[in-house]
Structure 1
Amino acid sequence: MYKMALLMIGILAVSPFANAAESGVRTVTVSGQGEIQAEPDKAIVLLGIESRRPKLEEARAEVARVVDEALKLTRDLKIDQKYVRATRINVQPEYNWDNTARERHLIGYYVSRQIEVDLRDLDKLGQLLERAVDLGVNQVSEPQLDSSKRRELEREALAKAVQDARLNAEAVAKAAGARLGAPRTISASSGFVPPPMPYQKRTMAAMAESDAAGTYQSGEMSFTGNVQVEYDLIPDAMQ
């Protein structure tokens, strides 16, 4: 039975004699991490319009008016209309329960609709939110910030992770009296962490009080790569 040697260096877990029992080949398995910081350059913005009125026609008319004005706003801001989408209208009757009569009574209607904007120019984000609220938009969800170069940035993070793994493997190989050979296996994963969102879902009154739309600033996104690599270990003839 072969005796296993385990060397721990920070986040690095290696075994210079891994798989020796099966193949007689000395290997080392290491992990590597990479990270790239970048500012977002686009955002998904959801503008909600809600109305409650005794009559359905009144609620529908109010929502339709605000939707039309909000869509016109996107055109005025020169937002490409292929990135603007209005959802289907939602209509729900609302009732009040009469405990005495043991029956419900229709008291009105709730009507809502959303506009989704895939905003490719974040300089317009403050104007879009602030002016939309002025027009009657009464629900604004926090923008979902993203980067149009996400895939490229994730690949850069993966490349840094591979470099980090190789440096870790070389350090362990040297300490074990060996040289590093070719990689046998590589597993990788990547992802991103969006910047903190400065907005909470809020009503028109809350937006007006905080003036958040006019003071909007985006933070940086973090793109990460993680790899695990198994390398061959070659005996060092000089040792």
Structure 2
Amino acid sequence: MTFRTLQLSTAAACALLVSGWAAGAEVERPRTISVSGQGEIQAEPDRALVTLGVEARKPKMEDARNEVSKTVDAVLKLTRDLKIDQKYVRTTRVNVQPEYNWDNNAKERNLIGYFVSRQIEIELRDLDKLGQLMEKSFDLGVNSVGDPRLDSTKRRDLEREALAKAVADAKLNAEAVAKAANARLGAPRTISASSGFVPPPVPMMKANMARAEMASDAAGSYQSGQMGFNGNVQVEYDLIPNEPGLK
């Protein structure tokens, strides 16, 4: 009986000890503030990715291939005449597809000719030449053209500038909130960030240019808008309450 009472007392004491340890182990939850920030940089594009396509349909495959090859050779000469660095000029392989029609009476298909195509991809580093390149390529026989894709060789640096502006914006937002809450900011705990860019509109012909003027001087017939580089951040700061009476 005595032994049993001692055992219960020991268990109760252990329970009290664990309870006291748990209460002492509780750590005050840190006070933080989470804010977002945005930054944007505007810049002129300095390069264009241009894809020029040449297509031909002929009853004979050789005739279609010759027509495509003649046009491609002429466009490649044009890039040299415009002093476009040839390391930025690439041609794809020739694509040849036979074409058929279906004879319902004979229940069979008949070969009617061949479709031949090839593409020339150009990374243009001098946008002043974009108008000449596009206009003269049409004159040489290019008949399939994608919209020029404008870009900047400094894109990564510009995105970093936008991110830096976003961080500064987030800090200003956090300081405003902290001041309203009678507190001040501590060090940032976490930062998440993302960046990107918005391409300018597809280059368009200047509206005030007549067709005759474009034919005689295509160098300035295209103009581009600006690109927008943006950064977005989410920052969590420590929030330090001011002492009573301190504002």
| Pairwise TM-score range, normalised by the shorter structure | 0.7 to 0.9
Give the equivalent residue in structure 1 for 2:225.
Answer: 219
CA shift, 1:198, in A, is: 3.9
Aligned to 1:87: 92
1:55 paired residue number: 60
Q: What CA deviation, in whole Å up to 9, does each residue of 1:40-75 have, x standing for no partner? A: 010100000000000000000000111111011000
SS in 2 for 1:43: strand
In the alignment, the residues of structure 2 paired with residue 225 and residue 33 of structure 1 have an alpha-carbon distance, to the nearest angstrom, of 6
Q: Say which of 224, 229, 232 aligns to 2:235.
A: 229
CA distance in 2, matches of 1:222, 1:109: 45
- 1:120 aligned to 2:125? yes
Which amino acid in 2 is paired with 1:40?
Answer: P
**2: distance between equivalents of 1:166 and 1:55?**
69
The letter for the 1-side match of 2:237 is Y
Separation in 2 of the partners of 1:67 and 1:125? 18
- Determine helix, strand or coil for the equivalent of 1:100: coil
Higher helix share: 2
Q: Provide the residue aligned with 1:175 in structure 2.
A: 180
Distance 1:114 1:227 in 2: 41
> Percent identity at matched positions?
73
1:103 correspondence with 2:88: no
Question: For residues 18-167 of structure 1, what are the structure 2 equivalents within 5 Å?
Answer: 23-167=28-172
1: CA distance, partners of 2:89 / 2:164: 35
TM-score, length-scaled by structure 2: 0.82
The higher radius of gyration belongs to 2
SS at the partner of 2:83? coil
* Letter of the 1:224 counterpart: N
Gaps of at least 5 residues in structure 2 are 1-25, 205-210
d(CA) in 2 for partners of 1:198, 1:225: 25
In the alignment, the residues of structure 2 paired with residue 136 and residue 23 of structure 1 have an alpha-carbon distance, to the nearest angstrom, of 76
**Aligned equivalents of 1:115 and 1:22: distance in 2?**
66
CA distance in structure 2 between the partners assigned to 1:25 and 1:224 by the alignment = 32
Aligned partner of 2:229: which letter?
Answer: F
User: In 2, distance between residues paired with 1:23 and 1:188?
Assistant: 29
The runs of at least 4 aligned residues of structure 1 exceeding 2 Å deviation read: 211-215
SS across alignment from 2:99: strand
Taking only aligned residues, the RMSD between alpha carbons, in angstroms, comes to 1.8
Quote how far apart the aligned CAs of 1:22 are. 7.3
**C-alpha offsets along residues 110-140 of structure 1, whole Å, 9 cap, x if unaligned?**
0000000000000000000001111111111
In the superposition, the TM-score normalised over structure 1's length comes to 0.84
Aligned length: 210
Gaps of 5+ in 1: 1-20, 200-207
Secondary structure, counterpart of 2:163 in structure 1: helix
Which amino acid is 1:186 matched to?
Answer: I
Distance change >3 Å, CA 147–CA 23, structure 1 → 2: farther
Task: Provide the residue aligned with 1:189 in structure 2.
Answer: 194
